[in-house]
Structure 1
Amino acid sequence: MPETTGALQPVSHRVASVTDSSPAIQLVDPSTTTGPEPVATTRPGWGWPVRGSTVMRRFVRPAFRWGPGHRGVDLAPSGDLTVLAPRAGVVSFAGMVAGRPVLVLTHPGGLRSTFEPVRTDVALGTAVDRGAPVGVLVPSSAAGHCRPRDCVHWGVRRGDTYLDPLALLNGRVRLLPLS
């Protein structure tokens, strides 16, 4: 049974709109916008940002800040290219970074989720609930690093520290036998 998604809650002061003709970088500080605080009263915690997705590549923490690693997870959709908010938050960035469309949600507590290659029509400063549609995956023919398949790269940061997004999901703990 498909998950129901929350409704978008518009901010009373529109900060900016994101279109193909928008500047390459648009930022908004969620603490300076007016409107409702993101509150996930009915759906606490974290959820999957892509329905029915398969993990193509896992998080690999770099040994040092500028070192090699994989600072997120790559999720291949099973068909639906809609990207959902994994937790309540505010759309704080939408634009092109290194030739790819990137979307950033800032969550309560200062965590930030980044998604690429993802385009959005959701206005900067808009508060969204967990499960709300926030964007659409751009097929690999246009951008992306999972070719030949399509995937969403999902990263999570606290300040300058990258976190494993899969560790934040509310999953079941399963004990496996040692032998």
Structure 2
Amino acid sequence: MRPVSLLLRAVLLPALITLAPVSPAAAGDDPLGSWPLRPQPEVAARFDPPTSTYGAGHRGVDLLGHASEQVLAALPGRVTFAGTLAGLGVVVVSHGDTRTTYQPVAARVSVGDVVAEGAVIGALQPTGSHCAPRVCLHWGWLRDQTYLDPLLLVDAGPVRLLPLWRDLPAAPPPTGSWMPAPLPYARWRPVGWPA
């Protein structure tokens, strides 16, 4: 056998035997996962984090779906909760130092199950939907006790505007030189340019 294949067996075999989920990202890194509803759903309500532990806000996103639609794991991990909480069906999947939450969902998995990204974890329930009378999935993402925007997992987080000019000029123009016109805002100048 080649040394490379021996090394791969030595590294991969113990991981496959224990079935321990591999953390998709280290703390501070945003992993890339997949949508928990397919095809890509409409976002009915975006993430609006609370300003304090018990403050008002929206601790996840609401994705429009339909009753009994399959709910999928956004990232690979291990099911750490699957049951009813405050009258709602909830599934929680842990991924190393983060976990994703899905509600209202009739679980098709049990605590301890290892799930792959895209695996069916339950069916969307109409009762308890944040979007009533429509049906939607409330999808959350947490690191410890901090709520994160789950749309970052599918690269659909907040829109970031680019600066008016993509790159700063190499050097400010000499005093009295011609300035391109018209500027979008009469008094705006790139950093380093004379006023």
TM-score normalised to structure 2 length: 0.64
Which aligned pairs between 1:1-179 and structure 2 lie closer than 5 A? 35-39=18-22, 45-52=32-39, 53-77=41-65, 81-108=69-96, 110-139=97-126, 142-170=127-155
CA distance in 2, matches of 1:67, 1:40: 30
Name the % identity.
46
Matched residue SS, 1:151: strand
Equivalent residues, number: 141
Per the TM alignment, residue 39 of structure 1 is displaced from its structure 2 partner at its CA by: 4.3
Bigger Cα displacement from structure 2, 99-108 vs 78-87: 78-87
> Residue 168 of structure 1 aligns to a residue in which SS?
helix
Aligned in 2, Cα 1:157/1:144: closer, same or farther, shift over 3 Å? same
Residue pair 1:54, 1:78 contacting (<8 A) in 2 also? no
Other-structure match for 1:18? none
Distance 1:119 1:80 in 2: 9
Describe the superposition over 1:92-121 as per-residue Cα deviations: whole angstroms up to 9, x where unpaired. 10111111111100012x101111000112
Contact 2:67 2:135 in 1 (8 A): no
- Bigger relative contact order (CA 8 A; separation at least 6): 1
CA contact (8 A) 1:51 1:80 kept: no
How far apart, CA to CA, are the structure 2 residues paired with 1:66 and 1:174? 28
Partner AA of 2:114 in structure 1:
A
Give the structure with the larger helix fraction.
2
Change (3 A) 1:161 1:171: closer
Deviation at 1:122, TM superposition (A): 1.2
Task: Give the letter aligned to residue 107 of structure 2.
Answer: T
Q: Any unmatched runs of 5+ in structure 1?
A: 1-33
Separation in structure 2 between the aligned mates of residue 131 and residue 54 of structure 1, nearest angstrom = 18
Q: CA shift at 1:45, angstroms?
A: 2.7
Aligned to 1:16: none
Q: 1:174 & 1:131 partners in 2: Cα distance?
A: 28
How many Å apart are 1:40 and its aligned residue? 8.6
Give the counterpart letter for 2:75 in structure 1.
R
CA RMSD in angstroms comes to: 2.8
* 1:143, distance to aligned residue in structure 2 (A): 2.4
C-alpha distance in 2, partners of 1:126/1:77?
Answer: 25
96-105 vs 166-175, which moves further: 166-175
TM value normalised by structure 1: 0.69
Unaligned runs of 5+ in 2: 1-16, 25-30, 165-183, 185-195
How big is the shift at 1:175? 6.9
Give 1 or 2 for the bigger CA radius of gyration: 2
